[in-house]
Amino acid sequence: MMLDAHDLTISSLLRVFHERISITWAMILVETSLLAFVPLFIGFAIDGLLSGSSRELKHLAGLMAALVGASVLRRLYDTRVYGTIRVELGSAQVARSSTVPVSALNARFAMGRELVDFLEHTLPEAMSAAVQLAIAVVILYTFSPPLALAAGTTLFLMVSIYAFFHGRFYRLNSALNHQTEKQVRILEGRGKEPTLAHLLRLRRLEISLSDTEALLYGTVFVVLMGLILFNLWFAAAELNITFGAIFSIISYSWDLVEGALALPITLQTLSRLSEITRRLNGRESAV
């Protein structure tokens, strides 16, 4: 098997399957770059139509057609690549878990699939967000440097906010994974009280995780809404620009919001996966 000589980690999967994953990443960059220019081309089309020209609208239609084609091709390819990786990872887990209790192996088998889910879904979203953020900041800078400065300050505040929550996410995910590994053994006992205690323990941990997420995203969203309001005020009150340009500024500010929200999701997932990889590679005791 391809993973026989490797620890079961995100970095190992990237090394072993680097050629296939590199192709998906290239397709993601093409798709995201096309998507990032849509608000700018919409602004051009608005100004063109207001002045009686349809040329800019045709350019927008061409851009959208290319975006749809790139998006469909990437998804067709991704499904096949990551399906293969899941098979290899699952086989490697079973091969090296002969001494692990079935309860723990069952839970860890599902946890291992989260590594591939991260590569297939969360990481591409993070890459798209990074490209989206970079292009948005550059274009906002071309309109006015204070707009880009506001965006940069917002991103710094977001990273600082997440750093404050990181330790709590790790501890809660560790406790949740530990409890999940007990599930098959508890259910095999068919005891009413142990089963109820197990379910209540899962419920408490899931509520704690959800409450922490809600507090994190609420704090982040307040910061991001401040960016939107500032950029809207600055564009309308301080800049002498067209309606299409104002639309583009607000659209790219909102792109920053959407892209920035992918950052805490990615960091939170990495916190969970860092705990999971310890279990998959025998650095956490099986229950």
- Which DSSP string corresponds to 176-222? HHHHHTTHHHHHHHT-HHHHHHHHHHHHHHHHHHHHHHHHHHHHHHH
Predicted TM-score (pTM) above 0.75: no
Tens-digit pLDDT profile for residues 15-68: 888 899 999 989 988 988 888 888 888 888 888 888 888 888 999 999 999 999
On the question of pLDDT at 275 being above 60, the answer is yes
Q: What's the pLDDT at 273? A: 81
- φ, ψ of residue 208 to 5 degrees: the values are -60, -40
Choose the weakest-confidence range: 40-49, 189-198, 223-232, 257-266: 257-266
- pLDDT for 50: 84
Q: Where are the domains of the chain?
A: 10-280
pLDDT at 10 over 90: no
Q: Distance (Å, rounded) from C-alpha 168 to C-alpha 12? A: 26
Class of domain 10-280: mainly alpha
What is the pLDDT, as a whole number, of residue 98? 65
Backbone angles phi, psi at 132, to 5 degrees: -60, -45
Whether residue 223 contacts residue 94, with contact meaning beta carbons closer than 8 Å, is answered with no
Q: Closest Cα partner for 226 from 247, 253, 259? A: 253
pLDDT at 1: 59
State the average pLDDT over residues 123-131.
Answer: 82
Q: Which residue has the tokens 């699939």?
A: 113
Instruction: List Cβ neighbours of 163 (8 Å cut-off, separation of 6 or more).
Output: none
- Please give the pLDDT value at position 100: 66
207-244 tens-digit pLDDT = 998 898 888 888 888 888 888 888 888 888 878 777 77
Q: Of 113-122, 240-249, 271-280, where does the model show the most confidence?
A: 113-122
* Contact criterion met (CB below 8 Å) for 155 and 163: no
